[in-house]
Chains A and B, each alone.
Chain A
């Protein structure tokens, strides 16, 4: 029996928690609309009208190019990572082959692996093959890390696919590829969407890898642009606020649109969807 008091307390607590989570962000929004050049003290809302800050920051911080670079890299990574994770997950889940357990274990290691434990030789090798300072030096390692999780994720889905469905397809004459594409995959749309959202968020936000790989070049990702911008203007907080929001805006948009998919991914098993 759920009392009214429980519900009210629930709303109160959750609202407070939401406020704590959103508060700083809301503050930044107001900050970003304040007068540039003013230092630190929170600008009050009445003076938060300098929408022009965004245009300034966009130009001065070269965010146009940065957002474009991030977009190109992230979209390529997301598309390719999802595309490669699916057959891999399928094979790990539903086919028996020598070395399956070992290979899968090594792949899962990639989920825990911090970039730092392999960035050095990766960079040295990229430089040696003259691949650094170009999109692929970021794209390929990001795909590598993404498919580690992606194969794990898709495998979990395929493992609980009905065996009899596969057997029926098999008897109907479908080979492994057709079974995957025509029978099992159409059922996996939610899982694929979740994977895409997770990949987008993780890879857009990635900082260290692009920092190392693209430092010598003209290319920068949005997080890099933000940090560089910040390096040049440590106290111009209004501009910094605008720059931060520009950097995180794409992820927030994607997240808001697909938040159901994202939460399902993180809370896998916990949500009754």
Chain B
């Protein structure tokens, strides 16, 4: 009968599970295994225990990769969500027709290839590119920087690109969510004497709990997995100002041929991603 334990189920999951196991999961386990070795993948590898992991903690460049990744979370995640929450609460009363057009526009940055986004923004942020030209045109020429070439500004610049990409997605998400909140709740709050801030805290925020969790998951994961943009825009530079874990994995594996170190980096990366998502899920559940 339906629902009963059956062995035919294995047949149904077999093709998908097989490809997943062979080309994703087993390599993953293999990678963890490799992370305890040092070598270049061609000649014999040497067992070094957790040395690679210790390196990640002690080596300033490796460590900075994770620091940069967390900084990027601020740009990819916190800023767009803050802006999105603000705008969504401003717009909670609006019932817009033709919202599909706006949604398409807002989603577009998220949909187009990060490599293309990197190329485009390299142009915008070029020393004589549109951004600097615009600043000069409005008399703020003093603010013009060699954005991507500057040690201080490179990472925030990459961050701002991330904000641009994620902002539309988050806004669309929160907007859809806020339009689901019945207006009567706001009216009830108003009658109870709540001001705009209280309305936000008591009605908007709880009503958007699910959407905020989704936004967090998507943006935090994107921030942590960022490879394409770094590779194309800065190659981790200038110097090591914009290295991130995923870039270091690539560099260590395919440029410097330190397979073990690369594997360790990759393992720590997924651990961080999983931990972040678990935290988000837990926080989302706790705010009941």
Direct contact of A and B (CB under 8 A): yes
Establish whether residues A205 and B115, one from each chain, have CB atoms under 8 Å apart when the complex forms. Answer: yes
Establish whether residues A144 and B22, one from each chain, have CB atoms under 8 Å apart when the complex forms. Answer: yes
Bound-state CA distance A143–B22 (Å) is 11
Establish whether residues A95 and B115, one from each chain, have CB atoms under 8 Å apart when the complex forms. Answer: no
Establish whether residues B115 and A118, one from each chain, have CB atoms under 8 Å apart when the complex forms. Answer: no
Is the CB of B123 closer than 8 A to any CB of chain A?
Answer: yes
Is the CB of A45 closer than 8 A to any CB of chain B?
Answer: no
Establish whether residues A116 and B269, one from each chain, have CB atoms under 8 Å apart when the complex forms. Answer: yes
Q: Closest CB of chain A to B188's CB: distance in Å?
A: 14
Establish whether residues A28 and B120, one from each chain, have CB atoms under 8 Å apart when the complex forms. Answer: yes
Contacts of B31 in A (CB 8 A): 117-118, 120-121
Q: Closest CB of chain A to B32's CB: distance in Å?
A: 8
Establish whether residues A17 and B269, one from each chain, have CB atoms under 8 Å apart when the complex forms. Answer: no
Q: Of the candidates B20, B94, B99, B270, which one forms a contact with A114 in the assembled complex, judged by CB atoms under 8 Å apart?
A: B270
Establish whether residues B266 and A255, one from each chain, have CB atoms under 8 Å apart when the complex forms. Answer: no
Bound-state CA distance A93–B90 (Å) is 40
Question: How would residues 257 to 273 of chain A score, 1 for a CB under 8 Å from any chain B CB and 0 otherwise?
Answer: 00110110011011110
Establish whether residues A124 and B177, one from each chain, have CB atoms under 8 Å apart when the complex forms. Answer: no
Establish whether residues B253 and A120, one from each chain, have CB atoms under 8 Å apart when the complex forms. Answer: yes
Known: A107-B17, A240-B123. A270 touches B112 (CB 8 A): no
Known: A10-B96, A40-B123. A226 touches B23 (CB 8 A): no
Is the CB of B199 closer than 8 A to any CB of chain A?
Answer: no
Contacts of A199 in B (CB 8 A): none
- Tell me the residues in window 117-148 of chain B with beta carbons closer than 8 Å to chain A beta carbons: 119-124, 126-130, 133
Known: A18-B105, A117-B269, A247-B113. A9 touches B90 (CB 8 A): yes
Is the CB of A2 closer than 8 A to any CB of chain B?
Answer: yes
Contacts of A156 in B (CB 8 A): none
Q: Of the candidates A92, A97, A167, A205, which one forms a contact with B7 in the assembled complex, judged by CB atoms under 8 Å apart?
A: A97
Q: Of the candidates B111, B173, B259, which one forms a contact with A255 in the assembled complex, judged by CB atoms under 8 Å apart?
A: B111
Q: Of the candidates B111, B123, B254, which one forms a contact with A212 in the assembled complex, judged by CB atoms under 8 Å apart?
A: B254
Is the CB of B12 closer than 8 A to any CB of chain A?
Answer: yes
Is the CB of B164 closer than 8 A to any CB of chain A?
Answer: yes
Q: Of the candidates A17, A98, A222, A270, which one forms a contact with B5 in the assembled complex, judged by CB atoms under 8 Å apart?
A: A98
Establish whether residues B107 and A263, one from each chain, have CB atoms under 8 Å apart when the complex forms. Answer: yes
Bound-state CA distance A15–B164 (Å) is 15
Is the CB of B198 closer than 8 A to any CB of chain A?
Answer: no
Is the CB of B246 closer than 8 A to any CB of chain A?
Answer: yes
Is the CB of A54 closer than 8 A to any CB of chain B?
Answer: no
Is the CB of A232 closer than 8 A to any CB of chain B?
Answer: no
Establish whether residues B128 and A241, one from each chain, have CB atoms under 8 Å apart when the complex forms. Answer: no
Q: Of the candidates A1, A6, A143, A230, which one forms a contact with B119 in the assembled complex, judged by CB atoms under 8 Å apart?
A: A230
Establish whether residues A147 and B19, one from each chain, have CB atoms under 8 Å apart when the complex forms. Answer: yes
Contacts of A98 in B (CB 8 A): 5
Establish whether residues B2 and A230, one from each chain, have CB atoms under 8 Å apart when the complex forms. Answer: no
Q: Closest CB of chain A to B38's CB: distance in Å?
A: 13
Bound-state CA distance A259–B106 (Å) is 11
Contacts of B262 in A (CB 8 A): 120
Contacts of B267 in A (CB 8 A): 117
Q: Lowest 4 CB-CB distances: which A-B pairs, in order?
A: A10-B94, A117-B266, A91-B12, A18-B105
Q: What would 5 more interface pairs be, CB under 8 Å, given A24-B164, A121-B30?
A: A117-B249, A120-B249, A120-B253, A208-B246, A272-B180
Supply 16 A–B pairs (Cβ within 8 Å), ascending by A. Answer: A17-B171, A24-B124, A27-B130, A87-B12, A95-B8, A119-B250, A121-B30, A144-B22, A167-B2, A244-B120, A251-B113, A252-B112, A255-B111, A267-B172, A267-B173, A270-B214
Q: Which residues of B contact A (CB under 8 A)?
A: 1-10, 12-13, 15-17, 19-20, 22-25, 27-28, 30-31, 34, 41, 87, 90-91, 93-96, 99-109, 111-116, 119-124, 126-130, 133, 164, 167-169, 171-173, 176-177, 180, 183, 210-211, 214, 218, 221, 224-225, 227-228, 231-232, 245-246, 249-250, 253-254, 259, 262-263, 265-267, 269-270, 273-274, 277
